[in-house]
Structure 1
Amino acid sequence: MLDILAITGPIYLVVAAGYLSTRLGLFERGEMRVFGKYVVNVALPALLFNALSQRSLAEVLNPVFLAAYALGSLVAMAVGLMWARKVSGKPLSAAAIMGMGMSCPNSGFIGYPLVAQVFGAATAGVGLALAMVVENLLLLPLALAIADAELPPGAPAESRAARVRAALAQSLKGFVRNPMIHGIALGFLFSLMGWRLPVPVAKAIDLLAMSCGAISLFVIGGSLVGLRMRGMGNDVFAITAGKLLLHPVAVLGAVLLLPPMAHELQMAVVLMAAVPMLGIYPILAQKHGQDAMAAAAQLGATVLSFFTLTSLVWLLKSGAS
C-alpha cells in the first residue's frame, strides 16, 4: 500500500498546499482563477501538443479508448438524469447539472497528474487528449443542451428544440475557441505530417508543459477554500457517489465489452473517469441556479477522491500483477 500512497500522496499534498496557501492568506481565492487561466490557456495546450505531436498517429488515435470513455460517461449521465428526475423530483435543468457532475471529470487538472504518476507523461498526455475530445464534443454540449431545454412557464413546447439548437451552437463556438482543442488539433497535424519544431521552440513548449501538473493541482486546492456542504446532503451524496463510483464502473464495463486495447490505456481510461468533476462545474451550474449544490459536490468529491482513487490504483495494480 505504501507504493500506492507514493503515487496518490504527492497529488493530494500539492492540493493541500494550494488549500493552505489560500486559507492562510498567501493567495486570494480569486487569484486561483489567474493560475487556472494560465493552465487552461497555456500549459495544457502545450502539454497536449507535446503528447500528440511526438507520437505516431496510430499510437494517438485510439477509437476504442474514445468509445469506452464516451459510452461509460453517457451511462453515468443518463443514470444521474433519471435519478434526479424520478427519485429526487428535480426539474430538468437541475437534473442535467447533476448528470454533468456524475459524468464530466476534471481530466486536465487531476486526471492527467494521476495517470502521469502511474504510467508516465506520454500515456497520460494521449489519454488526456482523447478524453478532452469526448468531453468537449459530446458530454458538455449534451449536458448544457439538456439543461437549457427546460421551458419557462407558459412557453410553447415547440420552443424546446430551438433552445436546444441554440445551446449546442453556443457549445460549438466555445469548442472552436478552446486553446486546449487548438493544442490537440496542432498535435494531431504534426503527428500526421511527421513535422518537428525547431529545438529552441520545442524546449520552450516542454517547459510550459512541465508546469501544468503542479499548478493545476495547486489551483484545485485553493479553489476549495470557502466552499460549504450544509443543507444539501442528499444531492451532494448522489453526485459524489455517481462521479467517484458509478462513472469509473460504467467506463470499466465499456472497456470489458469493447475490443481490447493496450493495457495501460485500459487502466488510464478508467482512472480518468474516476477523478472528481471538472473544475468549472459550479460556474456552469450558476446559470441554472445550481452553483451552491455544484460547489458542495465538488468539495465532497475532491476530499473523498483521495480514498477512492488510492483504492482504485491499488485494485488496478493488483489486477495487473
Structure 2
Amino acid sequence: MLAIFLKTLPFFGLIGLGWAAGRARMFPAEATAALTKFVFYFALSAMLFRFTATLPLEQLFDPAFFAAYLSGSALVWGLGFAVARARRRPLAEAAMEAHTAMTGNTGFLGVPMLVVLLGPQAAGPVLMVLSADMIVFSTLITAVITGARHGRIAVRPILLGILKNPMVVSMAAGLAWAGLHLPMPAPLAEFLTLLGAAATPGALFAIGASLAGKSAERAGPALWLSAAKLFVHPLAVGGAALLFHVEPFAAGVMVAAAALPVAGNVYILAAHYAVAPQRVSTAILISTAASILTIPGVIAWITR
C-alpha cells in the first residue's frame, strides 16, 4: 500500500502544485482556461490518437467490458437519481446529481495516471471507459436536462456536442488509422509522443489550478455524491465485471477508472445549464482531495 501511495504521490503533487499556484494567483483563471484548452485540444488528443492508432482493435472494443461498465454505471446513475428525487429535487437537478455520482475524471486524470501505474496494457480499458462516459452518459444527461426544460429532446445539439469533442474526434481518427492498417511514420510518431507527453503534467496542473477557485458549499449532498463516486461506483462496476466475466486485468482497470474523483467537465455542464453548480463544484473538490488516499488503496487491491 505504501509503495502504491508513493507512486501516486507525484501525480497528486502536480495537482497540489497547480492548486497552490492558483491560490497564490500566480496562475489566474484565464491562464487555467488556456492551459485546459491546450491539454484538451492538443496534448491529450495527441495521446489518445497515438493510443488508438497503435493498439490492436480487439483491445479497444470488448462487448463484455462495455456491458459490465455500462450496467454498473447505470446502476449508480439510477441510485443517484433516486436519492435526489427522494429529496424532492427537480428532474434536471436529480439528473445532474446522478451524472456527478458516476462520471470520473478519466480524461485528465485516468488516462495519464492509470496507464503509467498499471502499464501500457491499461490504455485499451481506460479508453473504453472514456468512450462510454463521453458518448453514452454525456448524451443521457444532456437529453434529460433539455427534455425537462423544453419538453422535447434536442438531437442536433447532442450530436454536434459529440462530434466537436476533440477526445472523441482523436479516438475516432485513431481507430480509422488502425482499421486501415496505415503505417506510423517515425516523425509523426515522435511528434505525437512529444505533444502527448505534455498531457500528463498539463492536465494534472490544470486540475489543481481549477480547484483553487472552488469553495466547499452545499457540503451535505456533495459528501454523498463524493462517496458514491469513490466507493459505490467502483463496487458496482466490479460486481458487473464479475457478472459479465470480464478478463481480470481489464476488470481491475475498470474498477480503478470508476474510483476516480468527479470529472471537472461535470461542473462545466452544471454551470452551462445553471443546474446545481455549487453542489457539483463541492463534490469535485471533496472527491479529488479524498482520492489522494482512496486511489492508492484501490490500485493496491486490484494489483493483488
TM-score band, normalised by shorter chain: over 0.9
Aligned to 1:301: 287
Aligned to 1:19: 19
Structure 1: distance between partners of 2:269 and 2:55: 34
Structure 1: distance between partners of 2:210 and 2:121: 28
Which of 193, 208, 212 is 2:199 aligned to? 212
One-letter amino acid of the counterpart of residue 7, structure 1: K
One-letter amino acid of the counterpart of residue 139, structure 1: F
Is 1:108 the equivalent of 2:107?
yes
One-letter amino acid of the counterpart of residue 249, structure 1: L
Question: Structure 1 length normalisation: TM-score?
Answer: 0.90
Deviations 1:17-47 (A, max 9, x none): 1111121222112311111111111112111
Structure 1: distance between partners of 2:31 and 2:126: 25
Structure 2: distance between partners of 1:83 and 1:144: 20
SS at structure 2 position matched to 1:277 = coil
Which of 214, 217, 239 is 2:225 aligned to? 239
Which of 201, 207, 217 is 2:188 aligned to? 201
Aligned to 1:98: 97
Aligned to 2:140: 142
Aligned to 1:156: none
Deviations 1:113-169 (A, max 9, x none): 33123212x334323321222112210111222223325xxxxxxx62x2xx21x43
Question: Structure 2 length normalisation: TM-score?
Answer: 0.95
Structure 1: distance between partners of 2:39 and 2:25: 22
One-letter amino acid of the counterpart of residue 16, structure 2: A
Is 1:191 the equivalent of 2:189?
no
One-letter amino acid of the counterpart of residue 284, structure 1: L
Structure 2: distance between partners of 1:55 and 1:227: 38
Aligned to 1:154: none
Structure 1: distance between partners of 2:47 and 2:259: 21
TM-align CA RMSD? 1.5
Which 5+ residue runs of structure 2 have no aligned equivalent?
A: none
Provide the aligned length of Structure 1 versus Structure 2. Answer: 303
One-letter amino acid of the counterpart of residue 175, structure 1: I
SS at structure 2 position matched to 1:132 = helix
SS at structure 1 position matched to 2:215 = coil
Which of 279, 287, 290 is 2:276 aligned to? 290
Aligned to 1:275: 260
One-letter amino acid of the counterpart of residue 186, structure 2: V
Structure 2: distance between partners of 1:128 and 1:316: 15
Contact 1:49–1:186 (Cα < 8 Å) also in 2: yes
Is 1:255 the equivalent of 2:255?
no
Aligned to 1:227: 214
Contact 1:94–1:288 (Cα < 8 Å) also in 2: no
Structure 1: distance between partners of 2:81 and 2:128: 25
Structure 1: distance between partners of 2:91 and 2:85: 7
Aligned to 1:89: 88
Aligned to 1:31: 31
Which 5+ residue runs of structure 1 have no aligned equivalent?
A: 152-158
**1:215 positional shift:** 0.8
Distance of aligned partners of 1:193 and 1:81 in 2 relative to their CA distance in 1, 3 Å threshold: same
Contact 1:240–1:297 (Cα < 8 Å) also in 2: yes
| Identical residues among aligned pairs (%) | 27
One-letter amino acid of the counterpart of residue 233, structure 2: H
**1:197 positional shift:** 2.6
